[in-house]
Structure 1
Amino acid sequence: MTDELRGLLRESAEAHQPDRARMLARVERGTARPGTARRSRDRERTRALSWPRIVLATLATAGTLTASALMVVDVDAVHDPDPPRSPSAVGRAVPPTAAGSRTEDGPLGADGSVDPHSNAYWAQSNVTLKAGEPLTALVVELRIALTEGVKDTGNWRTRPAADFDLSARQEGGFLVYRWTLKPGRTVPAGEHVFAGQYDHATGGRDAKDDTYRIDATAGAVERGAAVWGGFA
């Protein structure tokens, strides 16, 4: 055989691309028992149909989880903490804490103290209001922590009782006294005392958790002011 003929046969063989699928099908038909080819084709069809369903189910599950994760991240990203309420809004007193006291605000000042006449069974807490200008609106709140035996026994103020609405009740672990200036009444410039009286368990009582807050409107320009503090 010449080199030229060998080259032609090699090129012909390399150019030939057998139909693999058709050849396998022909072999299967020739060797399978009756009915085997049909069952084989059915299995292949079932397998072919099952894989897309499995893939779609997997993608759907992954998509659901991803969407849920994105929703959580999105909510966390856009949620802002509740804004702090303005401490100068009369009638919307925010319970203060003894820490971070603010005892002066413009024409308004205040001081909290346990009356020196308190004893081992009874106490009086005084809130002294200092007004540099007349007040046209005023809320004074005194909060006594409900330590053992604390019970309301009365209250008083240096201003006329008829000028104020008064409430004294337990709220959130405190005995709360609240004096609210009635509409149309005023509080003159100067110092004014608001006091709450209460029994307590025998012995010295720690007033570290007691607090007060005052919200007021002062002067002709109706300027809002607020002060708060503790009794430590």
Structure 2
Amino acid sequence: MDEELPRRLRDAAQAHRPDRERMRARVARGMAGGRPSVRVVRPPRAATPWLRVAGATAAVCAVLAAGAFAVTSADGDGPSGERAAAPPSAVATPSAPGGAPRAEDGPLRADGAVDPHSNAYWAQSDVTLRTGEPLSSLTVELRIALTGGVAGTGSWRSLPERDFAVSATEDGGFLVYRWTLRAGRTVPAGTHTFAGQYNHAEGARDASGDYLTAHAVRASGQRASVRASFGRDR
């Protein structure tokens, strides 16, 4: 029975003759009835996971594309050809080295020098202070580094002695001469000298570590501060 079935099916197929007239009639009836309706065919369930993967891939690509656009807009030219503005940066403000006052501030100016009459055992450091207007407050400090046997021997100033409180101390490795204008007194406009004297070891002394400062209040009420250094002793 099994051997006869294939042969019979093959013979039947070869003997079949399609009814062409009947087929034309069916086509004619279909065309006369208008366009055939279109039926939406859903994909088989087996294809659903593939579509989900494709959809997820498309979503990831969209996110990456948006990120790339954001980076391009921030670092380069945007869609309109305008460059994205960078965040404001801090602007450095110029100042004197180390934040120290300069040798000149408004009408106030100071200079320091080792007196030419100094010798191999003794020296005098001169502070020359110039002011273009009266001062209602003034403090002058002369700092002499305690090197090479430095020891104070006295001080003086060109302004009246009664107008100033004077002190000589050792502080932070320096011999410090300080002149402070007394309350109610005034320093007139002009050039004034403050001098500190000291002994030191025999020979030339390096005074490059010495310096002076002056802090003042002008008659206008504005403050002024200056600083200057010294050179090498004679």
Larger helix proportion of the pair: 1
How far residue 101 of structure 1 moved from its aligned partner, in angstroms, is 6.4
Q: Which runs of 5+ in 2 are unaligned?
A: 1-95
Match of 1:226 in 2: 225
Separation in 1, partners of 2:129, 2:225 = 11
Structure 1 gaps of 5+ residues are 1-86, 88-95
Name 1:148's counterpart in structure 2: 148
In the aligned structure 2, how far is the partner of 1:153 from the partner of 1:193?
17
In 1, the alpha carbon distance for the partners of 2:187 and 2:101 equals: 23
- Correspondence list, 1:128-143, <5 A: 128-143=128-143
What is the root-mean-square deviation of aligned Cα atoms in Å? 1.9
TM-score, structure 1 as length reference: 0.56
Match of 1:122 in 2: 122
Cα distance change, pair 165–100 in 1 and its aligned pair in 2 (3 A): closer
**Count of matched residue positions in the alignment of Structure 1 and Structure 2:** 136
Partner in structure 1 of residue 112 of structure 2: 112
Deviations 1:188-216 (A, max 9, x none): 00000000000000000000100100000
Describe the SS at the equivalent of 2:191.
strand
SS at 2:187's partner residue? coil
Q: Shift of residue 127 of structure 1?
A: 0.5
CA contact (8 A) 1:101 1:230 kept: no
Q: Distance in 2 between matches of 1:154 and 1:225?
A: 27
Alignment of 1:6-21 (within 5 A): none
Q: Taking CA–CA contacts closer than 8 Å with sequence separation of 6 or more, which of the two structures ends up with the larger relative contact order?
A: 1
Equivalent position SS for 2:162: helix
Equivalent position SS for 2:147? coil
What is the distance in 2 between the residues matched to 1:158 and 1:195?
Answer: 9
SS at match of 1:222: coil
TM-score normalised to structure 2 length = 0.56
Identity among equivalent positions (%) equals: 61
1:181 maps to which residue? 181
- Distance in 1, Cα, partners of 2:230 & 2:101: 10
CA distance in 2, matches of 1:154, 1:211: 17
Residues 100, 165 of structure 1: alpha-carbon distance in 2 compared, 3 angstrom cutoff: closer
* Cα contact 2:136–2:184 (8 A) shared by 1: yes
Measure the CA separation in 1 of the matches of 2:166 and 2:182.
10
Post-superposition offset of 1:100: 6.2
Amino acid aligned to 1:215: H
| Residues 7-37 of structure 1: per-residue CA shift (max 9 Å, x gap) | xxxxxxxxxxxxxxxxxxxxxxxxxxxxxxx
For residue 165 of structure 1, what is the aligned residue in structure 2? 165
3-state SS of 1:148 partner:
coil
Distance between the aligned counterparts of 2:169 and 2:146, measured in 1?
11
